[in-house]
Amino acid sequence: MFEYAFMVNAFAASGVVALVAGLVGYFLVMREQTFAGHALSHVGFTGATGAVLLGIAPLWGLVGFTLLAGVGMGMLGGRLAGRDVAIGVVLSLSLGFGLLFLHFYTAYATQATALLFGNVLGVDHPTLVVLVVLGAVCLTALAFILRPLVFATLQPELAEAKGISLRRVGVVFLGVVALATAACAQIVGVLLVFTLMVGPAAAAQNLTGRLGRGLALAALLALAQAWLGLTLAYYTNWPTSFWITALSAAVYGLSVLAQRR
């Protein structure tokens, strides 16, 4: 299957995105902010459709809107905790606006499907370059805040007493999540970002209690899901995103069983 350039691009793009999603997702799960991550991807949908309407590449609309929303959520900080309803309202409003923008831009229905459910086989070389840059920015920022992030996540009050600004850590982290979400949406679509970001990370946290191993496992599982999903899609001709979600659910399910034993 590697004789096709689009398959090579797809493997490279999904590989980069899976690594980033697995690592960022590990902390998203640990911080119990998965719903915020989900909301970010929906806000990204508004940005992407708005960008299409303005004649800009949807990826930039996606990146711009998720980043803005991520930083905004981080600034609200603790006040956002437990505000599932507020996040839910913003989330559906975003999808609503996205729909409105698509309504004005009548040309493509495929555009909507690609945004919502991903189009990894359509990744061209310039998009791949952008994804690699996004991934590098995410991982660099994550490496930089790693230690305070873990401390602030596991023992927030103690971290505050040691002089860590919980808000600053929260803003930088949600900024990273926003970029990872935008990258992830290119592969599996805004509706299925969870499948690469949360599934592997949650499974990894069920399987090991060690921080370093957990991180590595989350990245590996995400990578395996993405590549195996692509391979299965190639041979069955079913959508890649379906296979990735199926594998994600299977791995998570097995991790729950393994934990029970």
Partner 1 sequence: MSEPALEFEQVTLSLPGRTVLQDVSLRIDAGQFVGVLGPNGAGKTTLMRALLGLVSPSAGNIRVLGEALGKYAARGNPRIGYMPQTRSSAVGRRLRGRDFVTCAAYGQRWGRPWGDASVRHAVDRALEKVGAETLAQRPLADMSGGERQRLLLAQCLLGEPDILLLDEPLISLDPTHQKGVVDLVRQVQRDWGITVLFSAHELNPLLGALDRVLYLGHGRAALGTVDEVITGPVLSRLYGAPIEVERIHGRIFVMSGDCEVEKMDHQHDV
User: Which residues sit at the interface with partner 1, rule CB under 8 A?
Assistant: 32, 143-164, 205-206, 208-212, 259
Residue 123 or 201 with smaller CB distance to partner 1: 201
Task: Give the separation between CA 97 and CA 104, rounded to whole angstroms.
Answer: 11
Smallest Cα–Cα separation from 19: which of 193, 221, 229, 231? 221
**Residue 237, Cβ neighbours under 10 Å: how many?**
7
Q: How far is the CB of 242 from partner 1 (least distance, A)?
A: 30
Which lies closer to partner 1 via its Cβ, residue 12 or residue 150?
Answer: 150
- Quote the least distance from Cβ 211 to partner 1, whole Å: 5
* Cβ 219 to partner 1 shortest distance, Å: 15
Residue closer to partner 1 by CB (options 193, 215) is: 215
> Can you read off the two tokens belonging to residue 96?
């609503």
Minimum separation from the CB atom of position 30 to partner 1 (A): 8
The distance of closest approach from Cβ of residue 161 to partner 1 in the complex, given in angstroms and rounded to an integer, is 4
d(CA 193, CA 134): 16
* Nearest CB to partner 1, comparing residues 55 and 163: 163
Using an 8 Å Cβ cutoff, are 117 and 192 in contact? yes
- The distance of closest approach from Cβ of residue 202 to partner 1 in the complex, given in angstroms and rounded to an integer, is 11
Residue among 54 and 257 whose Cβ is closer to partner 1: 257
- CB-nearer residue toward partner 1: 32 or 124: 32
CB of 18 to partner 1, least distance (A): 22
CA proximity to 58, closest of 106, 102, 90: 102
